[in-house]
Amino acid sequence: GRGVAVFTSGGDSQGMNSAVRSVVRMGIYLGCRVYFINEGYQGMVDGGDNIVEATWNSVSNIIQKGGTIIGSARCKEFREREGRKKAALNLVERGITNLVCIGGDGSLTGANEFRKNWSDFIRELVEEGKITQGVADRYPNIQIVGLVGSIDNDFCGTDMTIGTDSALQRIIECIDAVVATAQSHQRAFVIEVMGRHCGYLALVAALAAEADFCFIPEWPVPENWEEILCQKLQQMRQEGQRLNIMIVAEGAIDRNGQAISAEQVKDVVKKRLNYDTRVTVLGHVQRGGAPSAFDRLLGCRMGAEAVLALMEMTEESEPCVISIDGNQMVRVPLMQCVERTKAVQKAMDDKDWETAVKYRGRS
Ligand code: ADP
């Protein structure tokens, strides 16, 4: 059977375990040998016990767990050619020439670099006497499929990333909890949620939890935002609301590109309206807890499709990402998605909101 390895890299997200489980079981079902690589690229570079063969049962009882049971890490060495070459040796020694990378745009870029180097690495490893020509001939290339695990939904080319729905669920539970106390004391709450380049979590949470105001990176507030905000809050109070909820994405900014923090929003409300105002920063709570049904299914579907894609790839096949598009699993060119995702980030850094929103869109 073919050697397939699965690893998780970059920031963790709920539903990654479901994807890992699905890759392992679909792989075994199709007659592959499937390996876990623990601790992302670090485990690939270090080899040894970090690369272990998976069994059908080794992925039982993980679908309901948040995070990733095989560990994730950031790895400096993998950014260097020498580090990637060490990783190549660890894989080829085990006959692994198919990878499922579950991570963000950084991890997927790394996977693409790795594939570009592969044939050179194999030749050099033979020259250095680390592998035989026979081994080199058996594994002339490597196939790569990416799955996007990210709570931010910040990747172009898929409607949803694995983990976003669960993070939203957690955020909404937290806001509901805060609303209960705010209601009792007639308070205003400013809630900071994750999202450096992408306001999806903030925007959707604001809609789902009935917030009064929302600050996101893609839609910088105008110069007179303080006035607009306070008018809105006052209006809601006049209409009988006993509380106010404002949501601020980590990457929120004004039209000049100046960061807007939750503390700053609180100070404005306190100073101008004299409302009892508190800040709640949700932080890593958003990554925690059980994955939602949606993320479990998304992980399952994407993982299975990833293995099917690997089995159909040929030497010439470019790496692909499995994405969800209108509730269908589709394969899209990996580097095209990464480049678009990076273009959005650059456009936002350049304060070119129009381009950012255009690239963020579906087509
Ligand atoms: P994410 O995958 O969530 O975007 P990072 O950008 O931190 O997270 O990337 C995770 C890891 O992927 C890095 O620690 C590094 O090992 C690897 N990586 C990222 N970019 C590259 C690159 N250009 N070349 C090689 N490896 C990379």
Higher-confidence residue of 311 and 359: namely 311
Q: What's the mean per-residue pLDDT of the chain?
A: 95
pLDDT of residue 362: 56
**173-208 pLDDT, tens per residue?**
999 999 999 999 999 999 999 999 899 999 999 999
**What ipTM does this complex have?**
0.99
Query: Does position 110 have pLDDT exceeding 60, yes or no?
Result: yes
**Cα(59) to centroid(ligand 1), Å:** 26
CB of 152 closer than 6 A to ligand 1? no
Annotated binding site: 11, 74-75, 104-107, 150-152, 187, 194-196, 250, 278, 284-287
Q: Does the beta carbon of 9 lie inside 6 Å of ligand 1?
A: yes
Q: Ligand 1 within 6 A of 167 CB?
A: no
The arithmetic mean of pLDDT across residues 2-17, rounded, is 97
- 262 pLDDT exceeds 90? yes
Q: What is the pLDDT of residues 58-107, one digit of tens each?
A: 999 999 999 999 999 999 999 999 999 999 999 999 999 999 999 999 99
pLDDT computed for residue 287 by the predictor: 93
Which three-class secondary structure string do you get for the chain?
A: CCEEEEEECCCCCCCHHHHHHHHHHHHHHCCCEEEEECCHHHHHHHCHHHEEECCCHHHCCCCCCCCCCCCCCCCCHHHCHHHHHHHHHHHHHCCEEEEEEEECHHHHHHHHHHHHHHHHHHHHHHHCCCCCHHHHHHCCCCEEEEEEECCCCCCCCCCCCECHHHHHHHHHHHHHHHHHHHHHHCCEEEEEECCCCCCHHHHHHHHHCCCCEEECCCCCECCCHHHHHHHHHHHHHHCCCCCEEEEEECCCEECCCCECCHHHHHHHHHHHHCCCEEEEECHHHHHCCCCCHHHHHHHHHHHHHHHHHHHHCCCCCCCEEEEEECCEEEEEEHHHHHHHHHHHHHHHHCCCHHHHHHHHCCC
**Mean pLDDT computed over 290-299:** 98
Q: Is the pLDDT of residue 28 over 90?
A: yes
Residues 165-176: tens digit of each pLDDT: 999 999 999 999
Summarize the annotated binding site for substrate as residue ranges: 150-152, 187, 194-196, 250, 278, 284-287
> Given pLDDT bands bounded at 50, 70 and 90, which one contains residue 363?
very low
What is the pLDDT, as a whole number, of residue 348?
86
pLDDT score for 358: 82
pLDDT at 100: 98
Average pLDDT over residues 295-314: 97
Q: Is the CB of 107 within 6 Å of ligand 1?
A: yes
Query: pLDDT tens for residues 148-167?
Result: 999 999 999 999 999 999 99
Task: Tell me the per-residue pLDDT of 316-359, one tens digit each, with 9 for 90 and over.
Answer: 899 999 999 999 999 999 999 999 999 998 988 888 888 888 88
Cβ-count burial 169-179 (b if 16+ within 10 Å, e if not) = bbbeebbeebb
| Mean pLDDT value of segment 272-296 | 97
Cα of 44 vs centre of ligand 1, distance in Å, is: 13
Q: What is the atom index within ligand 1 of the atom nearest the CA of 42?
A: 16
For the four alpha carbons of 350, 356, 358 and 359, in that order, the dihedral sign comes to positive
Ligand 1 proximity of 79 Cβ (cutoff 6 Å): yes
The set of catalytic residues is 152
pTM for the predicted model, two decimal places: 0.95
- Ligand 1: which residue has its CA nearest to atom 20? 106
